Amino acid sequence: MMPNSAQHGEVIFSADDFGLTRSVNEAVELAHTKGRLTQASLMVAAPEAKDAIARAQRLPDLKTGLHLVLVDGDSMLSHDRIPNITTPDGKFGRNQTALGFLYFFSPAARRELRAEIRAQFAAYAASGLTLHHADAHKHMHLHPTVAAMMIQIGKEFGLKRIRVPAEPPDIIRACGGKITFSDQILYAWTKMLRSQADRAGLATSDHVFGIKWSGHMRAERIKLLLENLPTGSSEIYFHPATHRDEILKTLMPDYEHEAELNALLSHCSQ
């Protein structure tokens, strides 16, 4: 059953990678109209961004935001505009650690990073969709430099809410998950981002779920999470798709996109 809202606060069901492929877009629309999905995060430079925008415009109750892509995905600006941070095909590399060092230590990379972040916010604004929130692909905004730029530039475009991916280890353990030292470190690290958000006056959920089981948020796990939610507001995020097309198989070979869609379509009363 759904948790008692008076005790646990708001529970947001969200989808990432909106715009990546047509199958993802179809799943977002289906999960919102037939299931429990309440918001989605849009990749503005992704192959099917225009289709995602058209669907969102038909769904006035779907809250949409920017899924900022700065790793493992398409850039908005061309490679000749941001040569230090993209590959010749106009994409960000998949090595998140290497990009993190580059964003921190290289002044040239930081100038390009700022320009790209601004371009993605501008593209979102040009869509005509209301900017409900922002987050980042693979939580790249946990990087303090990225977070500072995302918040500063985002506020120029009316940003009022961001995701702080703080997944309480004790809750995952209570749901049967094995907690590692890395999980504990990541949870502690999110305090820096929450502090940045608080100083900027941005709203956040108290807890976020979907990290430990990323790509594997099956219905039985959602049931466990809803039975064990901590006090405060929570966001549970998914990567749904109606089928696993070639792009999804390449980028996320082990993800269970269809199972995550089924979890969103399961009735909230179950």
Q: Give the full edge-to-edge strand order of the sheet including 207-209.
A: 134-136, 63-68, 39-42, 11-18, 234-238, 207-209
Q: Which two tokens stand for residue 268?
A: 């909230």
How confident is the model at residue 207, as a pLDDT? 98
Whole-angstrom distance, CA of residue 179 vs CA of residue 186: 11
pLDDT score recorded for residue 22: 98
How many angstroms separate the CA atoms of 20 and 246, rounded? 12
Residue 8 pLDDT level (bands cut at 50, 70, 90):
low
| Domains of the chain (ranges, CATH numbers) | 5-265 (3.20.20.370)
| Secondary structure element (H or E) that encloses residue 249, with its range | helix 246-251
Q: What is the 3-state secondary structure (H, E, C) of 173-221?
A: HHCCCCCCHHHHHHHHHHHHHHHHHHHHCCECCCEEECCCCCCCCCHHH
The CB density around residue 103, as the number of other CB atoms within 10 Å, is: 22
Q: What is the pLDDT of residue 212?
A: 96
Helices and strands, counts by H and E, the chain: 11, 8
Q: Which residue has the tokens 């993800």?
A: 255
pLDDT of 269 above 50? no
Mean local confidence (pLDDT), 240-244: 97
